Structure 1
């Protein structure tokens, strides 16, 4: 399978403060996991109808009555939710109750396995443990009903104290494209099993992995403030915006990359071909299939894979930006002048690195996780897809 960083398709970027804005339109609706997928043969393998969705509560610490599930997202530009019987309902301002919030929670059966049905849509499957989530229906800038999503990295968010997490998906006629995301935060261990042309599983946290990730992040002075009790670890980009993480953390590494490649070449290989770059006039300029260049990024640009490392859907600048973003987060740009680095043994080996991404990768059985937006470079993200899906299973695993 062609590595996703080499595909000339736009990349998913769950990088918006969904719950912190006045109206949080889900980024997944516009740039969903489907944007990562290679669907060139989708016309010959079309998924049909609703997909069986099984929710499995193996958390061990919470019975099914204490686990609340929400399936929310977009269909054809309209924000929607899935009801208990598997139908789609539009988000409505009238859904807000007396407390000012909706109650879209789906009920789990006492057996530990709950059978649901997933219609065509792009969205998220949220789970909360112990308490229900507070989703608020609001009017967006065009007057349409929209949802304010939870933002576990914003202290003023009504869901800040609630133990919750989510998985992301797009399910349509081309198939199912899904992932367990840690781009915003890591809280609830969960895995996805997708059946179709083959059986695939991703996101499984190893025994003790959650506690190990919390301890690893807490043990790094610069990252320790990102740990919120035993509730979640906030991704460093959101931590930076909240004043919990240094705005110049990556500056020494960024400066060294700029200095190093002023005097020698960096090669980045994508499906468009090999790009050869050097820093000229303070811009990293690449020649090859097309001329692309990047101004020096900030720490925030690196963590969010945005700003001066934004990846347009142009087949040239975008893929090169993705590889650079991965190289900065994994701290491989100085050790390897031919990118992308494809061996996990070479990732995160310097003291100055994305220790959050390092910790969440170490927590999973297969070493795959979505610790930052370009973590799918060289296929290290907890992402799976199938163009002929027959069932999907989301399992909450033991703490």
Structure 2
């Protein structure tokens, strides 16, 4: 017998989504009490890549149809409920590849209430989904990044996760398994309010891969093994958990020194965990035999392995026989503190934590650190409990949610990462500003909009947020993709140097301003100004010609010339 929670957990570990045998609500997502939804939701799928061959897929369990396996057909409107196949690996009987169209276009689709939902994107090809039989109905075999024989393994694809039920829409950008395509989210409520997760820029994957390689060069821990390439191009960056799937020895002793230091710290000092629920707080000390952290009258956590810390579902953080819910809650907060390396600087978890102190130790989840840093607003689900947040703290998991959603925009490609923009309008001599929602924004050419004129809302990069508002950051030089891979890191170092800031950047700005001024001139203006210059030069030089033989200047000779008709009639005569 399996519940909805059981099958959603299985989906994350086996890449197969089965219907549950027991109907009931899910606790997997962050569900809040809110008004009921309308039962369907409009989703805009915006192609911000440079490719016209981009496909989307929407999968999940249909809540209003007994949690049956659901896929959306290629028309973006028709629900497809597969039949239970007779054997493993059967093909879908319906076309579920939703073509997004050319870059800059939006495909609008409609979905019912769904649990365990995913919106998949693939650039350059369609994806292959298969069906397996089960007693509760067909199971969907989803694409996998940890199985080299998977037909989708060498393709460029990614997904975001969502739950849409009668309480709310909850969706987030997921990096728990890997990073590939930039995805951003914009959720608009029926009241007109907007929530936004900016996601990665278009070159985000290359940035992450180069930084993983640089981190490995620094500590030799094996971070470079998380970079997967195809024909010399970065294909994806794996999470540490999936990296361990390919190499069981990867990071095997990585956390040992840090764990030992944590166990030593809490021999005499209590570790306080706030469950952020009615259970309140619990305190723990290192056990007398120095093998575990013991919460009085509740349970203990043995020293975790690297697999336990990165995956959060095995060993020390697996469900326990007694006080299961409380220990899972505490384990989530303990695991988040391990990944962020805050246990040696903060004895009160998670409420004393601040984002600026995350990943400060040399032993930390550098994959999460690097991925967060690459995102435009620093947000994205990088490990299983990345949604652990201090009360009133800053969310790190990259989610949007609303009890009364009107529409959701999901952007793939990284080129339209902001929720809305400010547009200046002239009206009777006054300059006004109007905020465009995404429905209007996606119709405007992206290249026309100056990034500095956008309403960044929650999409302000962390670097910009920490700088003085009066100082504008120099624009980064753009390189072709082929050159970016090799010259990008060196160019980044140059642009971070005082020489670039003080010398090169102002020169580039000056040249750019001159070119923009020239381009902004109309053809009529250019022709008229050239004509005036030519006339000026003509009269100037005519007035400076040598004197004539009779003492008159050449100009006077010209003035005294008589233009006449053929019979000698004078038409024009100069003065004497």
Following the alignment from structure 1 to structure 2, what is the Cα–Cα distance between the partners of residues 149 and 265? Answer: 44
Q: 2:437 is matched with which residue?
A: none
Deviation at 1:207, TM superposition (A): 6.0
Query: Is there any run of 5+ residues in structure 1 with no aligned partner, and where?
Result: 1-8
TM-score (norm 2): 0.60
Q: Which secondary structure does the structure 1 equivalent of 2:14 belong to?
A: coil
On the 8 A contact 1:100/1:136 being kept in 2, the answer is: yes
- Counterpart of 1:3? none
Determine whether 1:391 maps to 2:402. no
Q: 1:95 to 1:380 in 2, by over 3 A?
A: farther
Q: Which residue of 1 aligns with 2:55?
A: 68
The reply to whether residue 91 of structure 1 matches residue 86 of structure 2 is: no
Aligned to 1:216: 211
Give matches, 1:300-311, under 5 Å.
Answer: 300-307=307-314, 308-310=316-318
| Residue 12 of structure 2: aligned partner | 16
- Give the SS at the match of 2:209: helix
Distance 1:33 1:356 in 2: 29
Q: Does the residue aligned with 1:72 lie in a helix, a strand or coil?
A: strand
Q: Higher helix proportion, which one?
A: 2
Change beyond 3 A, Cα 1:144–1:38? closer
Which one of the candidate residues 333, 340, 346 is aligned to 2:343?
333
- CA distance in 2 between counterparts of 1:219 and 1:94 reads 47
Cα shift readout 1:137-162 (whole Å, capped 9, x = no counterpart): 1213x272111111112222221101
Q: Equivalent residue for 2:272?
A: 267
Partner of 2:184: 191
Q: How far apart are the structure 1 equivalents of 2:28 and 2:61?
A: 14
Residue 363 of structure 1 is matched in structure 2 by: 374
CA 1:53/1:32 → structure 2, altered by over 3 Å: closer, same or farther? Answer: farther
User: How much has 1:166 moved relative to structure 2?
Assistant: 0.3
**Which segment drifts farther, 326-335 or 246-255?**
246-255
Distance in 1 (CA, whole Å) between partners of 2:165 and 2:380 is 24
Of 29-38 and 331-340, more deviation after overlay is shown by 29-38
C-alpha separation in 2, matches of 1:31 and 1:153: 31
Separation in structure 2 between the aligned mates of residue 346 and residue 26 of structure 1, nearest angstrom? 41
Return the alpha-carbon distance in structure 2 between the equivalents of residues 68 and 216 of structure 1.
29
For residues 176-205 of structure 1, the C-alpha deviation after alignment (integer angstroms, 9 at most, x for no partner) is 011110001110000111111521011422
Which residue does 1:160 correspond to in 2? 153
| Structure with greater contact order relative to length (CA < 8 Å, sep ≥ 6) | 1
Alpha-carbon offset, residue 252 of structure 1: 2.3
Aligned positions of 1:288-303 closer than 5 A:
291-303=298-310
Distance 1:36 1:85, change over 3 A: closer
- 2: CA distance between counterparts of 1:13 and 1:328? 22
1:227 and 1:167, CA in 2 relative to 1: closer, same or farther beyond 3 A? same
Matched, 1:134 2:121: no
Please give the residue correspondences for 1:168-179 in structure 2 after superposition, counting only pairs within 5 Å. Answer: 168-179=161-172
- Do the aligned partners of 1:32 and 1:170 also contact (CA within 8 Å) in 2? no
Change (3 A) 1:294 1:311: same
2-structure distance, mates of 1:243, 1:186: 19
**Residues 210-289 of structure 1: matches in 2 within 5 Å?**
210-221=205-216, 222-229=222-229, 230-243=234-247, 245-271=250-276, 272-280=279-287, 281=289, 282-287=291-296
Deviation (angstroms), 1:253: 1.7
Alignment partner, residue 96 of structure 2? 104
Deviations 1:324-373 (A, max 9, x none): 11111111111222211531111111221111111110111221110001
**Structure number with larger C-alpha Rg:** 2
CA contact (8 A) 1:180 1:203 kept: no
Quick one: which of 331, 334, 339 aligns to 1:324?
Answer: 334
TM-score w.r.t. length of structure 1: 0.85
